[in-house]
Structure 1
Amino acid sequence: MSNSPAKVLLCPPFRAEHVGSLIRPKPLFDKRCELEEGKCSVDDLKEVESDALKHIVELQRSLGIKSITDGEVKKASFFDGVFEKLDGMVFMPERPINEFKRYLPHIAMLYAAGISSDATFYCNGKIRRTKPFYVEEFKAIKSVVSPEEVKNIKINMCPPSWWHHRHGSELAYDLNVYKNDDEFFDDLGAAYRAEFQELYELGCRNIQLDDPTFAFFCYGPTVAGMKEEGVDPEKLLDTYIRSINVCTQGRPSDLHVGLHMCRGNYKGLHFCEGGYDPIAKKVFGRLDVDTLYLEFDDERSGSFDPLKYVPLNKIVVLGLVTSKNPKLESMDVLKRRVDEAATAMSNDNPLRSKEMALNQLCISPQCGFASVWQGNPITEEEEKKKLALLVEAAKQIWKDSE
C-alpha cells in the first residue's frame, strides 16, 4: 500500500481493535452476584477485580490484540465512573418514569413493563471535577503492562450526553443553575478535558467515548417521537455534536480520541435500528474525534454508503463481528465486507482512492461483549474465537501493517 495521509493515524487504534468491555471472568462474575445479593462488600469485590484485570490483559496479549483495555471489569455498567464523581450531579434512585423521554426505545420498554420509576442523575449545582474519573483504573492497567505497552492502553468512558438524553433540556438540570444546554455542556466539557489531561500526563494516549445517543437519530420511531413532543431532532443533534467537541477541544496532538456509536447492547439486545444515512454528513464531518467506531454487524446497521462522508483525516473502525451471540463470522465474508466498505468510502470522491480508503479502515466487534456486568449470551471461549478471527482477518487484509 502507499503511504496515504491516514497511514500516520493508525496507532492508535490498530487494524484489529477491541472495542471495550469483555465477559467477566467467572470468579468476578460470581463475586458480583454475591454483591448483588448482599453477601459481600465492595472491598471484597476489589481484590477479585484486580485478578480479573490481569486475566483480561493477558487474554488480549495472547490473541495478538495490541490495544489494551481493562475490559471494564471494574464497572457494573459502561456508563459508571463519571457522573457520580462530579460536583453538581446528584443520584436519584427513583425518579418518576414520566420525567423520562418516552420516545427513547429503552425508556419505552420501561413504560411498557409498567415500571413507575428508574434510577438516574440530575444536575442541581455547578458541575466541577474535583475527583478523577478513571485515573486509578489507568494506573491499575499501567501496573501490569510493560513501559512499551503503556501507549497502547485505551480508556473507555460514557459520553457527556448520557443522562441528558433521557430527560431533555427541561429536566436534565436545574434551570436556575444553567439557563441552557450550552452552559450545561460547557461546564461538563471542562470536567472531561481535565480528566483527559490528567490521564495524558500519566501516559494515556487513547480514549474512547461510548455513545449510544447518535444512533437514536438514525431510528425513525425515535425521531418521530421527538417531533411529536416538540423536540427538534436537528437542533438536538447539533447540541450533542457540540457536547463532544467541547470535551475534545484543545487536546494534545498525540492524544487519540475515538467515538463508538452504539445501537444498544444489554445482555445481547439492541434498542434501535437504522443506517447512518440521516446523520453521516453532519456527524462524521463535524465531530472533533480521530476515530469513528461504527456498527455494521447485521442488516439493521444499513449499508456502507454513508462512509463516503468520512473526512480524509479520520479512521473508521468497522464493527463487523457481533458481540451479541456466539455464531462465528466467516473470514471470507469479513474480507469481502471490508472491500465493500473501502469501495463505498471512495465512491464519487476524487480526493480518495480505494487504496486510501482501505488505509483509513480497521475492524472490531460491533460493541463490547459486556456493556453490563452480566454480559451477553456468549462464553469467554466464544469471545476469544471472535477476537482471534478479527486479528487473523486484519493480518490477511492489511499485509504490510503493524
Structure 2
Amino acid sequence: MTKTLVKAPFKADHVGSLLRPDNLHQARKDFKEGKITALELREVETQEIKRIVDKQIEIGLRAVTDGEFRRRFWHTDFMEHLNGVEGYMPENGYKFVGVETEAYDVRVTGKISFNPDHPHLNDFIELKEIVGDRAVAKMTIPSPNQFFNAGIRNEEIYPDIEDFAKDIIQAYRDAILAFYDAGCRYLQLDDVYIAGLCAPELPFAKSDLERDKLIDLALRVVNGVLDGKPEDLTVTTHLCRGNYQSTHAFEGPYDRIAPNFLAKEKVDGFFLEYDDERSGGFKPLEHIPADGAQVVLGVFTSKSGEIEDKESIKARVEEASKYVALDQLCISPQCGFASTHHGNILTEEEQWAKLKFIVDVSKEIWG
C-alpha cells in the first residue's frame, strides 16, 4: 500500500463542527417524535454533509469535516459508544458563563475497551467517500482525557486511577488504528480537560490529586495513546475553554501547562484558542520545539459573525512568530461553530464568510 504523507494542519484550517441547518434540526425532532425512521434521518444528514463538504472545498479549505452533523454533542456521542460506557441525563448540565448546558453526560458501567463496531467508523468512511480526492477528510474525536472529568469514573470498577488510565489508553490506541484502517490520515483530539488545567479553579472536575499530578497524568495518557501511531497519520489536539451557544466555561492562559504539554505532547499540531483576552499571551509558545508541532492560532472567533480586522490578525501572527517560526504557524477559528447541536449565535452565511476570510488571510501571510 502506498502511503501519502498529509501536510496537515494546513495554513488555513478549522476545528471541525459547523452550524446545523434548520432541516436537520427538524429531521432530528421528527425522529425523536417517531415521525421518521433512523434511515430517513441519516439520509437527511448525508445530503447536508454532501452540501457542506462541497462548500468547504469551494471556499478553499484543504481539510474537510462532516461538521459533526451526525452528533448531538462533540464528545459524548463518541464516548458512550465505547464498551463499558453509557450516556445518561444528570440532574444538571455544565455551568458556562451565563448559561447551563443541556443536561447530558457519560459514565462508566464496566471495563472500558474500544468497540470495533463503533458508529463513528462508518461515519468517517462515508465522509471519505463523499470527499474523494478533492481534499483531506478530517476526523475529530474527544481526547482520552475527557474521561477524567468529575462523575465519569466508577470507583467501584476502577478504584485505582492508574488502572483506569491504562484501559483508556488501550481503548484509544485501538480506536486510532481502527480509524487509520478506515482510511483516516488526519485525526484531531478535542480536549477541554487539559485546557481546564490552566484555569484558576478546575472546571468540571474535583480530585484529591494535586494539579501538577493531574497535569502529569493527562500528559502520560495522551502520549500513551499516541505511542506507536502510524507515521503517516497526522494527529492534532485542540485545547478548548468551552464552546456552547457562543459562551465559554472558563479562562486562563496556557502558562501552567506549557512546559509539559506544549513541550512534550507527541502531536503533530496544536489548535490553540487566542480569540480574546481570556487566552493570555503568546509567550507559552516558546516551549514548543522548533522541530516540533505546528501551531494553529485560533485568532478568529467562532462565537460571533463579526469579521476580524485583517491587519490586526496579521499583527497577531507576527507577534506569535517571535516565539514560533512563521512557517510553523497556521490560523483558524478558536473552536468549532457548533460544538453541540444548538450551535453558536451567528448565521450560516456568516460562518462561511469567516472561513473564507481565514483562507484569504492565510494566502496573504504565507502565499
**1:319 equivalenced with 2:304 (yes/no):** no
1:72 to 68, 72, 87: 68
Quote how far apart the aligned CAs of 1:208 are: 0.3
Using the TM superposition, name which of 22-31 and 49-58 deviates more: 22-31
Alignment match, 2:263: 285
Quote how far apart the aligned CAs of 1:90 are: 3.1
C-alpha distance in 2 between matches for 1:133 and 1:30: 22
Alignment match, 1:125: 110
Alignment match, 1:265: 243
Alignment match, 2:356: 388
Quote how far apart the aligned CAs of 1:142 are: 1.6
Q: For residues 244-297 of structure 1, what are the alpha-carbon distances to aligned partners after superposition, in whole Å with 9 as ceiling and x for unaligned?
A: 122211101111100000010001010011211111111111212111100000
Q: For residues 140-176 of structure 1, what are the alpha-carbon distances to aligned partners after superposition, in whole Å with 9 as ceiling and x for unaligned?
A: 1122123464xx1110001122242123xxx61243x
Quote how far apart the aligned CAs of 1:75 are: 0.5
What's the TM-score once normalised by structure 2's chain length?
Answer: 0.91
Alignment match, 1:332: 311
Quote how far apart the aligned CAs of 1:106 are: 4.6
Q: For residues 125-147 of structure 1, what are the alpha-carbon distances to aligned partners after superposition, in whole Å with 9 as ceiling and x for unaligned?
A: 22122323521111111221234
Using the TM superposition, name which of 193-202 and 320-329 deviates more: 193-202
Q: For residues 15-69 of structure 1, what are the alpha-carbon distances to aligned partners after superposition, in whole Å with 9 as ceiling and x for unaligned?
A: 0001100111232133234445565443332111000110110010110001111
2:279 to 294, 301, 309: 301
Contact 1:91 1:120 in 2 (8 A): yes
> CA, structure 1 residues 216+255, in 2 after alignment: closer, same or farther (shift >3 Å)?
same
Aligned partner letter, 1:181: I
Alignment match, 1:374: 342
**Gap runs ≥5 in structure 2:** none
Contact 1:105 1:222 in 2 (8 A): no
**Gap runs ≥5 in structure 1:** 1-8, 346-356
SS at match of 1:144: helix
**1:193 equivalenced with 2:167 (yes/no):** no
C-alpha distance in 1 between matches for 2:266 and 2:95: 27
C-alpha distance in 2 between matches for 1:321 and 1:119: 29
Aligned partner letter, 1:136: N
1:137 to 101, 108, 123: 123
C-alpha distance in 1 between matches for 2:37 and 2:348: 26
Which structure has the larger Rg?
1
> CA, structure 1 residues 390+119, in 2 after alignment: closer, same or farther (shift >3 Å)?
closer
* Aligned length, in residue pairs: 360
Aligned partner letter, 2:27: K
C-alpha distance in 1 between matches for 2:340 and 2:169: 25
1:16 to 12, 18, 36: 12
Alignment match, 2:89: 93
Contact 1:281 1:309 in 2 (8 A): yes
Contact 2:19 2:348 in 1 (8 A): yes
Contact 2:125 2:183 in 1 (8 A): no
> CA, structure 1 residues 133+186, in 2 after alignment: closer, same or farther (shift >3 Å)?
farther
> CA, structure 1 residues 92+76, in 2 after alignment: closer, same or farther (shift >3 Å)?
closer
Aligned partner letter, 2:189: L
Contact 1:269 1:324 in 2 (8 A): yes
Contact 1:24 1:73 in 2 (8 A): yes
SS at match of 1:189: helix
Alignment match, 2:161: 181
Quote how far apart the aligned CAs of 1:78 are: 0.4
C-alpha distance in 2 between matches for 1:250 and 1:56: 34
Pairwise CA RMSD of aligned residues?
2.5
Aligned partner letter, 1:210: D
Contact 2:97 2:248 in 1 (8 A): no
**1:246 equivalenced with 2:211 (yes/no):** no
C-alpha distance in 2 between matches for 1:38 and 1:211: 34
Contact 2:16 2:65 in 1 (8 A): yes
Contact 1:78 1:157 in 2 (8 A): yes
Q: For residues 290-329 of structure 1, what are the alpha-carbon distances to aligned partners after superposition, in whole Å with 9 as ceiling and x for unaligned?
A: 1110000011111111111112211100001100011110
User: 1:194-213 to 2 correspondence within 5 Å?
Assistant: 194-213=174-193
